[in-house]
Structure 1
């Protein structure tokens, strides 16, 4: 098994090494782009057309060079400004199209850009001000400034932000802070139609410039009675409290939410083993209200939340050697709180961002209208779970570019986290719970590397039950420049092992590989490896950037009887292009061609094309807050 995975890794890295063979072609591309740029300068129209479609060609050290760059910037203290008084804070918000954060003289040109900007309602300055961690007439603190910038950039309605400072003279005792924020286009309609189904939706992630999210979705289907409407409203920050409020409601009319499989609802992420998403089992949201405050910054002292909601839960069970499931209404109340204390004294960034965390949580689950059949098979039992957690975390953020975005500043988490969670589950029988977490990540000379390991188990009369061990690693290389192109290699191994799990509690490859939804296998062990060679093209078209890539994914499933070493190796190989536009709310799309040597339910040597919104590899932050069970998926 180990030999298999090593061979896969070596072959993929060798394929990546072939990228240098493109050097000569990149040189020709670079010369061609330069010639186009030079020709466009001769006339106003061609100059305008070139600026509309292409970005200016950068001038590297040598057009035929292959270099490895490190453009990551760590948070630093500005000693020249530290301690000066913040005299004024100036906030400017910009429409999505045609403006520049750095150059205030650049204005949108052309009818289309101005017309679209007119339809957009800019983020209100007060919304940005409420995100700041520093105030007027307070001493200048570099870390608070950088954290405020990061918090602004993390908002979905923000494309990017630039924070600059100005002093009247080097000896001045005060400083002015200027904040320029560019918006994204925030309104996205949706339409889905077929012979039996019509679905209309509208999402606005910056409702009337308040930074709030509004989502409305109406579905008409021949198999349901009347319309089904979903309404959701999210307030990400109540007046500088950094408390998030979220309300979700589904108007179902006369529909039977339990029996009607056509009623679409978003999945609810399980928080307890008896709500765990099983082979056919999912929990669907009906209505909920939530208030929560996370450790949004390493400097945050208090966190907590309240969630009250009703779900429809599908629960699997085995009876007479056959798999069956029942559905039930599920009422959940979830309360938690956490406190952070600094471990070290001093004013260094490391000392200020290293904390001891103490957290508690109570989760109540009830099943109103529990049926006789559910009682017979002993499912849908009411439950109270009490958690307590302790941990040590060190969190910082490093600014980088060309990771998941094109030239946009990205805040990459680095640090360490070690946590212990204990709990007790009170049902007809009482079980204890134990969870452990260890995570660390940083930039190294060979690139960015982070790893996350977790272990969780319930402890009852029969010993350790429903154990899970997870290991996830994220790695990407430094940025390579080949001609005018930029390239990174991403590698992501994942390992999950379950011990003494429920008979219906099975793993799948759905979380790590596309196309294997029809694979049904009683697995309690999963191993996967994802590799992607991502390039970043040097040109754009109407704000769209293109990133051709090569990818490969390999996965294996096993259980205690067969073992993972005897499992079939499932694989996916392909190429594609990421289409990205940072001006839009849904800013990443993917078009790819995938080859499957074997695809369950379809056969051997299958070619599939995909075109959909995509998600990136993502990061695991080093935050410790709400105590919970280790996820088994």
Structure 2
């Protein structure tokens, strides 16, 4: 019992949906049928009240009086007319409250840290500066309040890496007919994180550190170092990344990277500004990169080891986008649809070419798109209870370009359509279809057809237990691709945990299923969920072969997912997988135990991005 008590911590009661009322007399309730998690929490609480070493330890790390926070408006559309009556009023006052990572609540400002671990964690953390939060707001003091400014500002704050959640509230008590007072409250995550590993038998190890909010100023720094590498040109590898976001409240972000690996080297620097909000007018980027990498050559049936070749090049890249909104004759109503244009220049020069298919070139691309973006709020999707924004809407884009190379000239054409719908009772359904290709002398080459669909069900609840299902389907078909352009089904590309050095092809279809059961237990602040997955993938070689001719590769697995919303390394997964079919000429274990720190699925936003050549990977 003591061992179990150390592993299980309380999760609280969820208020996401109403529990049907009990019609029978409460005095007749059979106490022996009390839920398992309630009995476990009661037992842990009684154990923590004992004056023993175990009791004192449990009392220092467990909090029994807290329940899940009730979050209002989860099923409501985020872009709504909640504050319609305040549109174009003058913002008289903006008050900002920034909360530390541990022990505080964005929905209950009276809550404070209660145990020593929360207090120590906060002492090691620098809170986000109020000036940094103010720079993310789309409204200003003593200026008229534009439509959507409040809800869009709240969403932007909530999607910031170093913030767990955010709320923007209008003080209705001080509101007048022509002015408002606004209260902004944010909650940090513990932005410093790291990881490492060491194998004594081989003296091999890895160290990585990450800071998402350096000194509370929104700077992101990440470094990693590997050592003790065998059979490599060099026994170590290192990489570093640095990001400065929202420079001078312009929403311009600077990204710098330095990567020194054995088979991949990169130096790059970029300035970019996205269409971060639905009413953003201008976006663009400018930057340069220097890359030295090793690419895999097409495998043959006789190969037992992969063959590679080097590729060295530098690239200069710049683009500019402009968004146009349609006129609205309803005062205070912001139309959601946007017509967007973009123009991009890419110059690439190769100093070492892997094959003759690579050429120095200048590529000019233009695009025209129509986007409708809206957002909903829900919980228990990729997080464990925090408020999450679900993108819905549609995006249609058309792209045309011209490549002027030292060996050949050709045109580029592309089209893409994506749609998504969400309802609290049905769940979320996303679909996307695209076709992109170069055209030279009437022949289509290096083309790709992509199909994608993602569905997740509504949240099923039984007491404090919650269940959600995910289904993800993807198809990638290469059309007249170059021989060295190859697809795999490794990990995120098809089957999670699967890895093959030789299994490559030009056409791929993958189906992924996952069930997440969220439990009411946690371990030192890490909430627990169980995961089951089943992955199936087909892969074919050749530009005209059909993937479904051969039996699919499969992967099945089960495991645990721990997540602490307050830490930068928030997700930890341990999975046991089984692969019934293995590729020839390789030694791969049928069973595998692996860990992962990122979710397998993610949302596709309907934000218009820079025009570019469709990726084939």
The interval holding the TM-score normalised by the smaller chain is 0.7 to 0.9
1:124 to 117, 120, 129: 129
d(CA) in 2 for partners of 1:390, 1:463 = 24
1:237 aligns with 246
SS where residue 117 of structure 2 aligns? helix
In the alignment, which of 405, 414, 417 is matched to residue 395 of structure 2? 417
CA contact (8 A) 1:54 1:540 kept: no
- How far 1:236 sits from its partner (Å)? 1.5
CA distance in 2, matches of 1:402, 1:494: 24
Kept in 2: contact 1:488–1:533 (CA 8 A): yes
1:433 maps to which of 401, 409, 412:
412
State the match for 1:180 in structure 2.
185
Q: Distance in 1 between matches of 2:600 and 2:192?
A: 22
CA pair 461-145 structure 1, distance change in 2 beyond 3 A? same
Q: Alpha carbons of 1:347 and 1:592: their partners in 2 closer, same or farther (altered >3 Å)?
A: farther
Aligned-pair Cα RMSD in Å = 3.3
Equivalent position of 1:588 in the other structure: 571
1 CA distance for matches of 2:242 and 2:465? 41
Of the structure 1 ranges 454-463 and 166-175, higher mean CA displacement relative to structure 2 is found in 166-175
* Aligned pairs for 1:606-625 within 5 A: 606-625=590-609
Q: Is the 8 A contact 1:85 1:175 kept in 2?
A: yes
The SS at the match of 1:205 is strand
Task: Compute the displacement of 1:618 (Å).
Answer: 0.2
Distance 1:595 1:29 in 2: 31
Distance 1:135 1:569, change over 3 A: same
Q: TM-score, normalised by structure 1?
A: 0.82
1:16-49 alpha-carbon deviations (Å, 9 max, x no partner): xxxxxxxxx9963255257559969999989994
The aligned runs of 1:277-316 (5 Å cut-off) are 284-315=264-295
Once the two structures are superposed, the pairs formed by residues 129-278 of structure 1 within 5 Å of their partners are: 129-141=134-146, 143-169=148-174, 171=176, 173-194=178-199, 195=202, 197-221=204-228, 229-250=238-259, 263=262
Change (3 A) 1:226 1:545: closer
1:233-632 superposed matches below 5 A = 233-250=242-259, 263=262, 284-315=264-295, 325-347=308-330, 351-368=334-351, 370=352, 378-427=356-405, 428-444=407-423, 445-461=425-441, 463-510=443-490, 511-518=493-500, 520-559=502-541, 560=543, 562-600=545-583, 606-632=590-616
1:378, distance to aligned residue in structure 2 (A): 2.2
Contact 1:132–1:240 (8 Å) recurs in 2: no
Give structure 1 stretches of 5+ with no counterpart.
1-24, 61-68, 253-261, 265-283
- CA separation of 1:320 and 1:353: change in aligned 2, threshold 3 A: closer
Q: In the TM superposition, what is the alpha-carbon distance from 1:212 to its structure 2 partner?
A: 0.6
Deviates more, 1:583-592 or 1:34-43: 34-43
Measure, in 1, the Cα distance between the counterparts of 2:74 and 2:104.
Answer: 28
Choose which of 74, 79, 83 in structure 2 pairs with 1:75.
Answer: 79
Distance 1:189 1:318 in 2: 37
Structure 1: how far apart are the matches of 2:478 and 2:235? 43
Q: 1:217 to 1:56 in 2, by over 3 A?
A: closer
> What is the alpha-carbon distance in structure 2 between the residues aligned to residue 348 and residue 524 of structure 1?
53
Quick check: 1:309–1:332 contact (8 Å CA) kept in 2? yes
C-alpha contact (below 8 Å) 1:362/1:384 kept by paired residues: yes
Tell me, yes or no, if the aligned pair for 1:534 and 1:550 is still in contact at 8 Å. yes
* CA distance in 2 between partners of 1:500 and 1:393 (Å): 31
| Number of matched pairs | 568
Q: Which moved more, 1:468-477 or 1:210-219?
A: 210-219
Q: Once the two structures are superposed, what CA deviation does each residue of 1:420-440 show, in whole Å capped at 9, x if it has no partner?
A: 011111111001111100001
Moved more, 451-460 or 621-630: 621-630
Contact 1:548 1:577 (C-alpha < 8 Å) held by counterparts: yes
Q: Work out the CA distance in 2 between the residues paired with 1:407 and 1:51.
A: 20
Aligned to 1:101: 106
Higher mean displacement: 465-474 or 216-225: 216-225
> Are the equivalent residues in 1 in contact too, given 2:245–2:254 (CA < 8 A)?
yes
Q: What is the 5 A alignment of 1:6-45?
A: 28-29=35-36, 31-32=38-39, 35-36=42-43
Q: Is the 8 A contact 2:320 2:343 kept in 1?
A: yes
- Between the aligned partners of 1:603 and 1:331, the Cα distance in structure 2 is 37
- Give 1:343 deviation, angstroms: 2.8
Q: Write the distance in 2 (CA, Å) between the matches of 1:101 and 1:613.
A: 26
How far residue 441 of structure 1 moved from its aligned partner, in angstroms, is: 0.4
Residue 71 of structure 1, CA deviation? 3.2
| Correspondence for 2:22 | none
TM-score (norm 2): 0.84
Structure 1 pair 577/167, CA: closer, same or farther in 2 (3 Å)?
same
Partner Cα distance (2:472, 2:598) in 1: 17
Deviations along 1:212-233, one digit per CA (max 9) or x if unpaired, are 1112334555756697653322
Is the deviation greater in 355-364 or in 478-487?
A: 478-487
CA contact (8 A) 1:86 1:137 kept: yes
The verdict on how the C-alpha distance between 1:622 and 1:347 changes in structure 2, with shifts beyond 3 A counting, is farther
Q: 3-state SS of the aligned residue for 1:91?
A: strand
> Are the counterparts in 2 of residues 164 and 177 from structure 1 also a CA contact under 8 Å?
yes
Please tell me whether the aligned partners of residues 242 and 293 of structure 1 are also in contact (alpha carbons under 8 angstroms). yes
- Asked if the contact 1:350/1:394 (under 8 Å) is kept, the reply is no
C-alpha deviation, 1:57, in angstroms: 6.0
Specify every segment of 5 or more residues in structure 2 that has no aligned partner in the other structure, as ranges.
Answer: 1-31
Cα 1:210/1:439, change in 2 over 3 Å: same
The answer as to whether partners of 1:597 and 1:604 remain within 8 angstroms in 2 is: no
CA gap 1:439/1:247 in 2 versus in 1, 3 angstroms: same
Over residues 510-535 of structure 1, what are the superposed CA-to-partner deviations in whole Å (9 max), with x where a residue is unaligned? 21212432163452221111111112
Q: Provide the secondary structure at the position in 2 that maps to 1:539.
A: strand
Note if contact 1:40-1:47 (Cα within 8 Å) is conserved in structure 2: no
